[in-house]
Every structure is written in structure tokens, then in C-alpha cells.
Amino acid sequence: MAGSLLDPRLLARLGTLQLRTRSVVEGLLSGLHRSPHQGQSVEFAEHKEYAPGDDLRRIDWKAYGKFDRFYVKQFEHETNLRAFLLLDASASMGYRGPEGLTKLEYAATAAAALAYLLVRQQDAVGLVVARGAEIQYLPPRAHGAHVSAVLNVLEGLRPSGRTDLARAADFVAEKARRRAAVFVFSDLFDFSPGALVRLVDLRRMKNEVSVFQVLDPWELEFPFEDATRFIGLEGEGELEVDPREIRASYLRAIQTLCEEARRLCLQADVSYELVRTDTPLDRLLLGHLSRRERSARWTSR
């Protein structure tokens, strides 16, 4: 079954993001039926800069004469959906328990597979990586070569710094000039009222916002036994303690964090999902895509 092949512990042995993504996509495609494309309007939507593989017949020669650069006309059926993948690449996302993928590797693999599936149905996908004060951005595109560009960025990511989700959401709001789907992958360790306000603003702009809180099982279960030195990944210092003495208080704190994130998201009509990094990726993505499809059918009635 696909689920066994997509176990994160097995995916971790594949080494590269490209191989992991290929395995995930193959598993997903075996469980997906391609949905009919909605709204096949041929009205002009916008220009995009020419990229290898684009249809030469779509080149706008008037635009070339004006700007001395090649631009291709896009139509509504080619821009059915604009999606932004917002990925937290802060230092805390580099955590991993004894086996499997780091939180960042897991989130990057999920984001890459999602990018492939969206582009496959002619949706435009953009990538926003938030890491410290740095924001790395790939504008939305809807052609196959763009997926390779997304994978190249994700493959080279190394977790560092702190992430300001409010700042990253503001950036997406500036780029999502019309209705879009925004997928957020983060451990939400910096989830704050400011971040919520920005995510709510994205929702108020009629964007569809989905938040995946990605956590390692060891962060959720705290199965440490012997005296352990804990090192803050984002500059919080070190603490050597007996885990058994702090387990109860830690578990209450992590549960409160997750419950508050869920409450604030749902209150703002933002989709929320707590994701363990030992969850098979086909189960995660197929479940989310099927819920989105049911929601779309319900709201279109």
C-alpha cells in the first residue's frame, strides 16, 4: 500500500527531496482521481514572463515591442487558482527525534508534493520561505518547469533564525492581489496574536488559508527518561534537567499551545491541522485535499 511506502522513516532514507517528492506524488496519484477543471473561461487574465516550455503562440508581441522582454498571455482557465506555499524555515523546524525526517524536511516534502499536484491541474503555485528577517520568494507559475524551481529552493533549505509569521503573512497579502489559497507549514512556536491578525487579514481578503502545525512525536509525547540537556534552537540557551520532573508541566504547555492555535484559527475560519512528522504523507495530503473538495462543493451550492 502507498501508506507503507510513504512512512516518513522510509522516506528519510531516500536522501534527497526530489526522490522523496517523487515517491509521495506516485502514492498520491494512485489515490486521486483528477477532478474536472472548473470554469473553463477563455477570458484574458494576465501576462507572465516567458519561460522555456511556454507556448510560443501565446507571446504578446506588442508587450515585447514596449518592454523589450517576452511575455506570454494567460487566460482564466490557466489561472484557475493561485496558491502560495508559506514555509517556516526557522531553526526550531530543524528538530528531529531519533528517526524520520526533521520538521522542515517533512514540511518541505509535503509542500513540494502539493506544488506538483496543483501545477498538474494547471493551478499557479508560489513559494514563500520565512527564515529570520529573510523572506525567499518564487512568484506563482502554472507550468511544469516551475515545479523544478520550487524543488530546487526547498532542497537547499537549512533551518536558521527565528520566523515572524506576521511578517511573512503580510508579504503574502501584498502578493495575493486576488483570491488565492495559502498553505502555511510551521511548528507555530512563534504563533502570536500578531500572526493571527495577519492570517485573519488574508482570510478577509477572501483567500483560503490552511495552517499545518508540524511537530515531531517527541515534542508531543516528551518520552525522555534520563537526565537530559535541552538546547534552545533559537538562542534560548541550555537547560539540564530530569525530564520526569518537568514532563507534566511540559505536556500541559504543548497541549495549550496546540489547542490555542486550533481555537484561534477556527475562530477566524482558517483551516487548522496538527501534523505529526510520523504521519504518512499520502494520508495527510489526501485527507486535506478531499476535505477541500467537499468544502468547495458545499459552498458552491
Domain ranges, ordered by start, for the chain? 2-28+81-299
Per-residue model confidence (pLDDT) at position 3 = 40
Distances (CA, A) of 185 to 44, 69, 126, 127, 278: 33, 35, 14, 11, 15
For the chain, give the secondary structure using H, E and C: CHHHHCCHHHHHHHCCHHHHHHHHHHHHHHHCCCCCCCCCCCCEEEEEECCCCCCHHHECHHHHHHHCCCEEEEEHHHCCCEEEEEEECCHHHHCCCCCCCCHHHHHHHHHHHHHHHHHHCCCEEEEEEEEECEEEEEEEECCHHHHHHHHHHHHCCCCCCCECHHHHHHHHHHHCCCCCEEEEEECCCCCCHHHHHHHHHHHHCCCEEEEEEEECHHHHHCCCCCCEEEECCCCCCEEEECHHHHHHHHHHHHHHHHHHHHHHHHHCCCEEEEEECCCCHHHHHHHHHHHHHHHHHHHCC
Comparing 78-82, 84-88, 261-265, 274-278, the range with the smallest average pLDDT is: 78-82
Is pLDDT of 128 > 90?
Answer: yes
191 falls in which pLDDT band (50, 70, 90)? confident
Highest mean pLDDT among 23-32, 130-139, 282-291: 130-139
Per-residue model confidence (pLDDT) at position 53 = 64
Mean pLDDT of 271-275: 93
Is pLDDT of 89 > 60?
Answer: yes
State what percent of residues in the chain have pLDDT above 70: 77
C-alpha to C-alpha distance for 214 and 109, rounded to whole angstroms: 12
253 falls in which pLDDT band (50, 70, 90)? very high
Per-residue model confidence (pLDDT) at position 187 = 93
Mean pLDDT of 56-82: 68
Average pLDDT, the chain: 80
Architecture of domain 2-28+81-299: 3-Layer(aba) Sandwich (3.40)
78 falls in which pLDDT band (50, 70, 90)? very low
Mean pLDDT of 73-91: 76
Residue 97: alpha-carbon gap to chain centroid: 21
Interval 198-213: pLDDT, tens: 877 888 888 889 999 9
Per-residue model confidence (pLDDT) at position 48 = 66
Per-residue model confidence (pLDDT) at position 235 = 64
Comparing 51-55, 106-110, 250-254, 279-283, the range with the smallest average pLDDT is: 51-55
Facing residues of 82 across strands? 124
Per-residue model confidence (pLDDT) at position 36 = 37
Per-residue model confidence (pLDDT) at position 298 = 39
80 falls in which pLDDT band (50, 70, 90)? low
Interval 24-63: pLDDT, tens: 777 767 655 444 333 334 444 566 677 776 666 777 777 7
Per-residue model confidence (pLDDT) at position 300 = 40
Is pLDDT of 2 > 50?
Answer: no
Per-residue model confidence (pLDDT) at position 258 = 93
